[in-house]
Structure formats: structure tokens, C-alpha cells
Amino acid sequence: MSIDSDNTIPVWNNTHIYKDFNDPALQQDIETISTICDALNDKALVLEDSAGEDLVRILVEAIKFDEKASILCWTASTFASSISSVDAKNDEASRLDAKTNTLSARIEQAFKPFKQYLLKAPDDLLEKVFSDDDAAGYRFYFQHQRKRNVHLLSTEEEVAISALSVDGLHSWWRLYNELRGSLRCQVGGEEIGLASAFNLTLQQDSVKRKQAWDGIQNAWGSREETAAAILNAVNGWRNEESQLRSKIEPVHYLDVSCHRQKIERSTLDALIGSTEAHLDIGHRALKGMAKGLGLDKLGPQDLHAPFPSAKSDAIGYRTFSDSIDLVANAFARLDPAMGEFARTMYKKGWIDAKPSDNRTTGAYCAKFPKVGEPRVFMTWDGSISNVITLAHELGHAWHNWVMKDLSFCETIYPSTLAETASIFAETLVRDALAEHASTDHERLETAWLDAERASAFLVNIPARFEFEKKLVEARAEGYVPASQLTALMNESWAKWYQDSISGYDPLFWAAKLHFSISGMSFYNYPYLFGYLFSLGIYAKKERYGDQFSDVYRGVLMDTGRMTAEELIEKHFDQDIRQPAFWNESLDIVDQQILRFEELLDKIT
């Protein structure tokens, strides 16, 4: 079946949020945000002169205002991105996106005096504020933020950074999004967008994969100086801000990232150290995939190549409706409500997957907090890899759905724990595929997915981490031109891939959007964390039996109000700062790759 004949591929249905960019409800929400910011500014004028119960009341009211404005702004921002993801050239979406960025900064600036006050306040005042039900959801946020008080600037400086970042730091991310949405690739004599070209690298046709990869390389190569300028601007800004915050104690870029990801530096060290000590697992996966494809070694264009045999009935184009059924059934084995939720996402038009012109690359999950609804974006091509991506994003969506009745602040969780939920959902689907396999070819197809995942998380993700460290350090010395970025990327791949593949991806620094995200540095190791963390949790399924779905929901509910260390200690009584936890998960991956190798030997 061709993609064009699959009429089941869904598109957004967001009209009950806002009908269009001129919807009075959207304009009213924007006006409400402005009114709230004005009210916060008025309250800030009397903050320093307040005391006792009046002070507590003002702080609680400020928190309530901040929450309401943030919910409305986030909702409008998601509406803008839902349009621009489908059509990166939509000018109205770009204008609304810019508007919500400005509003977000204005909210941050208006709340800043209250935030600064609470960060420096004595413990007894904090207790009075957070004992109020309307402010209780902010307790963990402020407890965690106070850990970095030594790097806190004055209120005036904090407000200035926030204001300047709108058209400074974050404008570079907007430029990157416009760039990746407009770039065109020449593939086999046809001009297509980046998203469509990337999907061709997921196909069985090796010639088409190479053509698509070359097309992507040429597209980014034609704009490599622009991509380099974006990375330099983003990292230059971060370095300058870190210098400003280093007056009392030096700021290390990894400490900034770890704090944001709600983990300790010792946890990150244990994670990366354990992975490097087991690097052979990822290399074995790559070697096995090359063997299955009949190659001496994989090339960079082959890293996402699907199972090569056409003997399995499972091979071929999968309709979206069939894939939703597959994912929903796999989810339901853990939790019936989770399975039904996947079907609800499809039925209500909360997923957009239909290929379109000027569509952006990648896949993501977003949410409309005003109505408590998640959304999933991807580009459907019917491959088994697409099915796993669907499961991944629906895992994020379920995470949001479980938390929808919590206060808004408690639903803001770090990427480390976000990726735990998505990769956990992947594992449910992979296991279901493996259990339903009736032939060795079908078993090898599911084992192939395990191998591809192991190579991506245990080799590619650490290579990204290595590159970003090199980038940050090089940028501190001066501007890093495109040629040097390519060299740094090759060095990073050489460290982690070594000779396990035939060549590296020199422009990966430009093509991988995560490096250009202005609002977050090191959006790489959270995937490795989530992969191994979720495997460690999933392995405990038998211990808890029928109670496991409740345990898992409990884990998800706590992701916005605990550090990762506290979370795993509370629910599983383990310490993720020690290599032992990660080694247990790596042993699970080792067994998966061993099964993959045995099936390869048996069939080939």
C-alpha cells in the first residue's frame, strides 16, 4: 500500500482550542496575560514594604497569577507551533510564536521580583506560603531553585537577561526552525523537504537511503555557515551568562544542565562512565546490523536502516489505524486506561502525521494546558520505525495525561524523566511485537529494533554529548567556524563509534536540531538516561505483578516534584548515583543484543 492510499493518517483538530489566529478567545487570552503582568508589576511595588500575613498573601497571589498567565501563554504557543510544524512558511504562526515568546518573557519579568524574594526568603516564610493550597504546587520548584542561589543575579540583571533573550538568544532557534522547514533536498532527481528525505533513510532500498542522505548533506552544506552562526550565537550567549553568574562561585556548563535535568553531577558521571565501559554492546549491535544488510560495515546512511528481509508478513507499509491498534493493545497489557488513551488521541484528532509541504522534521509531543490535552506530531511513512516513534510520542502524551489534574508547576518535568516515559512506552510495543512473532524472521525483525535502539542510545547519544562538550569549550575560546564544527563532530564520532562503521556524519551538528535549541543545552544525554532508566524500571514489572501499573503511574506523577534520585529511591529504593543501577540496565541490553546475534547466526 502506498502512503497516498492510506486515508487513516490523522491531522490536527484544534478548533476547540482556537478556531484560527483571529479567534476572539485567542485575543482574550493574550489580553488576560497582559492584564496579569500589569497586576504583578503593581504588586511588586509594595512587596518590600509588606510583612506578616499581608506578605504571605501577596506572594500567594503572585504565584496564582504566574500560573494562570503561564497556562494561557503555553496554550497559545502550542497553537502556533501546531501550525508551523505542518507549514513552516505560515507567517501568521511565526508572528504568534514571536508574540508568545515576548509574552513569556514578560511573565517571567513580572514574576521575577517575587521569585527573587522567595529564593532568598527564610524557611519559615516559605513554609507559610507553600502551606496555602494555591501555592503548594510551587514548593519543589523553589526548593530546587534555591540550590543555585550562589549564582543568582540581582532582580534588575535577571529581568534584563529575560528581556534581551527574546530577540537575542531565542531568535536563533526561530531562525533554525525556519531554515529546516524551508530547506529542500534533491533525491533521485526529485526535490523534497528535509522531513521526507529523512524518512527515506528509514527505507529498505539502500540506493534510496544513500541518495536521501546525500541530499540532506548537500542541503545543509549549502547553508552550513548559517547553521554555524546559530550554534555560535546560542553557545556564546550561554557562556557570557555563565560568566555573569560566576561572581561568587564558577559556573560549570554541566552543572547548569544537571540542575535543569533534576539530577546530580555524580549521576551523570555514573551514567556516562557505565555506558563507556560497556561500549562493546553498541558496537556489537552495529556489527550485527551490517551483517544483516550484507555489508562489511554500516555507513552513516544505514544507521536507521530497517530489517532487510521481505519474508516476514510484518514487513511492508503499515496503515496508521492498524498501527494505533498495535500500540494501544501493547499499552493495554500494562494498563487498560493507557491503551484506551492511545485510541482517544487518534479519534479526537490529537495527532498530526500526514505528510505535507514545508513540514518540519522530527517528532514531538506538546500540550494545551488550558484544557489539559496533549498533542503528537510526526510524519507518517508506514515503516516499523514510524510505529516505534508513534509509541514514543504517545508515551509522552500518556505522561502528560496522567498529570493533568496536578497544579501546572508540578507538570513541568525534566527531559531525563520525560524520555523515561517515552522509551518505556517504546519498550511495551517492542515486547508485544516480540511475543507475537511466530517465525524466526519475525523474531529477528523485533530484535533488529533492539539493536538499532542500542546503537543509537549507547553510541550515537554519547557522541552527541561529546560533541556538545567540545563545542562549549571551543566557543569559550572564540568563534567556531563550520569547518571546525565538522572536525569536532568527526572527533566525537571517532571516540564513540571508533571503527564500528565505515564513515561518520560530518554535518550532524547542523542536521540534528537538538544542538540549536536555545532554551536547553545538552539535549542528548537525557535520551540515554531515559533509555537505561526506563529499562531499569521495566525490569521490576514481575516483582510488582498486577500492582505495577499503579507503581508506574506513581512514578509519572512525581516527575515534576522530585529529583530523579529522590524518585527512584522513593519508588524502588535504589541509588542512581552509583554505577550498579546503570550496569543492571546495561546487562538487559546485553542480553537483547545476544538474542539478536543468535537469531542472525541462525538465519544467515
Q: For 445-496, write each residue's pLDDT tens digit.
A: 889 989 999 999 999 999 999 999 999 999 999 999 999 999 999 999 999 9
Q: What integer best gives the mean pLDDT of the chain?
A: 93
Across 589-603, average pLDDT: 95
Across 511-532, average pLDDT: 95
Per this entry, what is the length of the chain?
604
Residue-level pLDDT at 392:
95
- Helix ranges (H only) for 411-460 are 415-436, 440-455
Across 511-521, average pLDDT: 95
pLDDT confidence of 29, banded at 50, 70, 90? very high
d(CA 256, CA 243): 12
Asked whether 492 and 463 are in contact (CB, 8 A), the reply is yes
User: Which residues have C-beta within 8 Å of that of residue 133, sequence separation ≥ 6?
Assistant: none
Query: Percentage of the chain with pLDDT > 90?
Result: 84
d(CA 150, CA 465): 27
Across 22-51, average pLDDT: 96
Cell digits of residue 520: 536547553
Across 96-103, average pLDDT: 93
Cell digits of residue 218: 548537500
Across 88-102, average pLDDT: 92
> Helix and strand tally (H, E) in the chain?
26, 5
Enumerate the β-bridge partners of residue 539: none
Rg (CA), the chain: 24
Residue-level pLDDT at 309:
64
Answer positive or negative: Cα dihedral of 405, 407, 410, 411.
positive
Residue-level pLDDT at 311:
41
Asked whether 431 and 330 are in contact (CB, 8 A), the reply is yes
pLDDT confidence of 5, banded at 50, 70, 90? low
The answer to whether residue 89 scores a pLDDT higher than 50 is: yes
- DSSP string for 318-383: --HHHHHHHHHHHHHHH-HHHHHHHHHHHHTT-EE----TTPPSS-EEEEETTTTEEEEE------
What's the distance, CA 122 to chain centroid?
A: 35
What's the distance, CA 414 to chain centroid?
A: 9
Exposure string over 162-173, b if 16+ CB within 10 A, otherwise e: beebbeebbbbb
Residue-level pLDDT at 453:
93
d(CA 106, CA 110): 6
To 5 degrees, how large is the angle CA 378–CA 382–CA 387?
Answer: 65
Residue-level pLDDT at 547:
92
The answer to whether residue 248 scores a pLDDT higher than 70 is: yes
d(CA 518, CA 73): 18
Give the N- to C-terminal CA distance of the chain in Å, as an integer: 28
Question: What are residue 243's phi and psi, to 5 degrees?
Answer: -65, -40
Burial of 3 (0-12, 13-18, 19+ CB in 10 A): middle
Q: Tell me: domain 24-172, CATH 2.60.40.2470, correct? A: no
d(CA 351, CA 363): 11
Residue-level pLDDT at 262:
97
* pTM assigned to the model: 0.89
d(CA 294, CA 66): 58
Burial of 295 (0-12, 13-18, 19+ CB in 10 A): middle
Residue-level pLDDT at 316:
64
d(CA 409, CA 411): 5
The answer to whether residue 2 scores a pLDDT higher than 80 is: no
d(CA 50, CA 73): 29
What's the distance, CA 24 to chain centroid?
A: 32
User: Which residues have C-beta within 8 Å of that of residue 367, sequence separation ≥ 6?
Assistant: 74, 78, 373, 374, 375, 400
Residue-level pLDDT at 408:
95
pLDDT of 349-368, one tens digit each?
999 999 988 888 889 999 99
Amino acid at 52: G
Across 577-591, average pLDDT: 96
Cell digits of residue 207: 540506493
Across 380-392, average pLDDT: 90
Neighbours of 286 (CB within 10 A): 25
Question: What are residue 583's phi and psi, to 5 degrees?
Answer: -65, -35
Amino acid at 295: L
Task: Give, in order, the Cα–Cα distances in Å from 264 to each of 214, 260, 502.
Answer: 40, 10, 36
Cell digits of residue 419: 524520555
If we measure between CA atoms, which residue out of 275, 560, 599 comes closest to residue 446? Answer: 599
Neighbours of 421 (CB within 10 A): 27
Residue-level pLDDT at 4:
46
If we measure between CA atoms, which residue out of 529, 524, 557 comes closest to residue 399? Answer: 557
Residue-level pLDDT at 383:
82
pLDDT confidence of 347, banded at 50, 70, 90? very high
d(CA 119, CA 41): 18
If we measure between CA atoms, which residue out of 29, 43, 54, 30 comes closest to residue 111? Answer: 43
User: If you ran DSSP here, which 8-state letter would residue 20 be given?
Assistant: S
Residue-level pLDDT at 3:
43
Asked whether 563 and 262 are in contact (CB, 8 A), the reply is yes
Amino acid at 285: A
pLDDT of 141-199, one tens digit each?
999 999 999 999 999 999 999 889 988 999 999 999 989 888 999 999 999 999 889 88
DSSP run (H or E) holding 184: strand 184-187
In the chain, where the domains are located: 24-172, 320-440+531-575
Who wins on pLDDT, 308 or 106? Answer: 106
Helix (H), strand (E), coil (C) string for 236-305: HHHHHHHHHCCCCCCCCHHHHHHHHCCCCHHHHHHHHHHHHHCHHHHHHHHHHHHHHCCCCCECHHHCCC
Across 383-388, average pLDDT: 86
Residue-level pLDDT at 78:
97
Burial of 474 (0-12, 13-18, 19+ CB in 10 A): middle
d(CA 366, CA 84): 13
